[in-house]
């Protein structure tokens, strides 16, 4: 059974539909690759998937221990290469709203590096994760 259907719309735009929920997202080729850049590019979605996966896996670890992760956000920078055209580096900065003990930080940081998207991306793709905790 298919979980996602992607259809080519026009002018380098696609529409992806998640069958179970009915949610849809669109992609556009970026301006530097013949597109209009009016939506996420497919490589933007790859970088966003990594950031979302990291927060999700950290959320699971936090919920198991009664920790509050609400308000935590990831800021993602994707750096493209040209020959071949591919993602060379994804820099993710995790900003925590709450402060945590040294042990809790280790749990969250270990979870971040264990996310399935992180583990699925090629080893040559540089993945830099920086954790920012509030100053106490």
Q: Which residues pair with 6 in a beta bridge?
A: 16
Please work out, in degrees rounded to the nearest 5, the angle formed at the alpha carbon of residue 65 by the alpha carbons of 64 and 69: 90
Average pLDDT over residues 18-26: 95
Structural domains of the chain sorted by starting position, each given as residue range(s) with its CATH number in brackets? 4-33 (no CATH), 42-132 (3.30.300.20)
Which residues, 6+ apart, have CB-to-CB distance to 21 below 8 Å?
none
For the stretch 58-96, pLDDT in tens is 999 999 999 999 999 999 999 999 888 999 999 999 999
- The DSSP element (H or E) to which 109 belongs, if any, is helix 102-113
Q: What SS3 class is residue 5?
A: strand
- The edge-to-edge listing of strands for the beta sheet with 4-10 is 4-10, 13-18, 24-28
Which pTM value belongs to this model? Answer: 0.90
pLDDT at residue number 1 = 66
Q: How far apart are alpha carbons 28 and 135 in whole angstroms?
A: 39
Q: How far apart are alpha carbons 52 and 48 in whole angstroms?
A: 6
Is the preceding omega at residue 20 within 30 degrees of 0, hence cis?
no
Compute the radius of gyration of the chain from its Cα atoms: 17
Share of the chain above pLDDT 90, in %: 89
In the structure encoding, which two tokens stand for residue 112, read together?
A: 């971040």
Q: Could you give phi then psi for residue 77, rounded to 5 degrees?
A: -120, 125
């Amino acid at each position: 059974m298919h979980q996602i259907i992607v259809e080519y719309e026009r002018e380098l735009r696609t529409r992806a539909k998640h069958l179970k929920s009915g949610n849809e997202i669109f992609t556009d080729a970026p301006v530097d690759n013949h597109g209009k850049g009016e939506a996420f590019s497919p490589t933007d979605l790859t970088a966003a998937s990594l950031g979302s996966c990291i927060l999700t896996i950290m959320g699971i670890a936090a919920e198991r221990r009664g920790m509050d992760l609400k308000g935590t956000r990831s800021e993602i920078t994707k750096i493209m290469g040209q020959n071949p055209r591919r993602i060379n580096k994804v820099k993710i900065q995790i900003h925590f709203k709450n402060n945590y003990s040294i042990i809790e930080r280790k749990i969250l940081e270990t979870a971040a590096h264990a996310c399935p998207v992180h583990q699925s991306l090629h080893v040559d793709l540089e993945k830099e994760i920086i954790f920012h905790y509030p100053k106490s």
